[in-house]
Chains A and B, each alone.
Chain A
Amino acid sequence: MKRKKIIALFAVLAMTASLVAGCGSSGNTGDSAASVDEGTTAGEEASVNEGSEEEPAPETESSGDAEAVTIWYYWETEGHQVALDQVIQEYNASQGNYEVTAKYVPFADFKKQLSIGASADELPDIAILDSPDHASYVEMGIFEDITGKFDVGNYYEGTVNSCTVDGKLYGVPFGVNCLALYYNEDMLSEAGCEVPTTWDELMATAKALTTDSVTGLALCSVQNEEGTFNFVPWLWSTGATSYDINNENGIRALSFIQSLINEGVMSKECINWTQGDVMNQFIAGNVAMMENGPWQIPTMQSEAPDLNWKVTLIPKDTDYSSVLGGENYAVINGGNVEGALDFLTYATSEEKVKFMMDKFGYISADKTIAENQFEADSPYQPFVEELNYAMPRGPLAEWPSVSDAISLAFNQVITGTATPEDAAAQAQATIDGIVK
Chain B
Amino acid sequence: MKKIKKMFRYENVGILFVFPAFLYMLVFVGYPIIRNIILSFQDVGAGNLVRGTKNFIMFDNYLELFKDSVFKTSLSNTLKYTILCLIFQFMIGFLLALCFNQRFTLAKPIRGILLVPWMIPVTVTALMFKLLFATDIGVINFILRSLDLINKNIEWLTTPGTAMFALICANVWIGIPFNMILISTGLTTIPKELYESASIDGANKVQTFFNITLPLLKPTIESVLILGFIYTFKVYDLVYVMTSGGPVNSTHMLSTYSYKLSFEMFKYSKGSAVANVLLAILLVVGISYIKVTTSGEEE
How near does chain B come to A272, taking the closest CB pair, in angstroms? 6
A 396-420 contacts with B by CB, 8 A: 397, 400-401, 404, 408, 411-412, 414-415, 417-418
Roughly how many angstroms separate A404 CA and B266 CA in the complex, as a whole number?
12
Report the minimal beta-carbon distance from B250 to chain A, rounded to whole angstroms. 8
Minimum CB–CB distance from A174 to chain B (whole Å) comes to 22
Query: Which residues on A sit within 8 Å (CB–CB) of B267?
Result: 401
Q: Do A272 and B158 touch across chains, with their CB atoms under 8 A apart?
A: yes
Closest to A1 in B: B10
Which residue of the partner chain, among B10, B46, B263, contacts A137 with CB atoms under 8 Å? B46
In the assembled complex, the CB of A131 is this many whole angstroms from the nearest CB of chain B, namely 16
Separation of A412 and B266 alpha carbons in the complex (Å) = 23
Residue-wise, chain A 3-21 has the 8 Å CB interface mask toward B (1 for contact) of 0110011011001000100
Which of B13, B17, B135, B264 neighbours the largest number of chain A CB atoms within 10 Å of its CB? Answer: B264
- Whether A400 and B244, one on each chain, are in contact in the complex, defined by CB atoms closer than 8 angstroms, is no
Q: Within the complex, what minimum Cβ distance (angstroms) separates B70 from chain A? A: 9
Q: Does A141 contact B50, Cβ atoms closer than 8 Å?
A: yes
Given the known interface contacts A9-B8, A11-B17, the answer about A271 and B47 at a Cβ–Cβ threshold of 8 Å is: no
Check A415/B248 contact, CB under 8 A, given A115-B263, A401-B265. Answer: yes
Interchain CA distance A417-B250 in the complex, whole Å: 10
B263 pairs with A411, CB closer than 8 A = no
Shortest CB–CB separation between residue B245 and chain A, in angstroms?
8
Q: What would 17 more interface pairs be, CB under 8 Å, given A136-B266, A417-B247?
A: A1-B10, A12-B13, A15-B20, A118-B50, A119-B49, A139-B47, A141-B52, A142-B50, A223-B244, A223-B246, A224-B244, A272-B158, A272-B246, A401-B267, A412-B248, A415-B158, A415-B160
User: Given that A115-B268, A267-B136 are contacting pairs, would A15 and B17 also be in contact in the complex, using a CB cutoff of 8 Å?
Assistant: yes
| B residues near A417, Cβ cutoff 8 Å | 160, 247-248, 250
The 10 closest A-B pairs by CB, nearest first: A112-B263, A268-B158, A8-B13, A415-B247, A136-B46, A400-B265, A141-B51, A223-B246, A139-B47, A140-B46
Chain A, range 178-236, C-beta contacts under 8 Å to B: 222-225
B119 contacts the other chain (Cβ, under 8 Å)? no
Interface band, chain A = 35 or more
Q: Considering the chains assembled together, what is the distance between the CA atoms of A225 and B249 in angstroms?
A: 15
The smallest C-beta distance from A416 to any residue of chain B, in angstroms, reads 8
**Interface residue ranges of B1-31 to A (CB < 8 Å):** 8, 10, 13, 16-17, 20
By beta carbon, the residue of chain B nearest A227 is B246
Q: A268-B158, A272-B158 in contact; A224/B264 too (CB < 8 A)?
A: yes
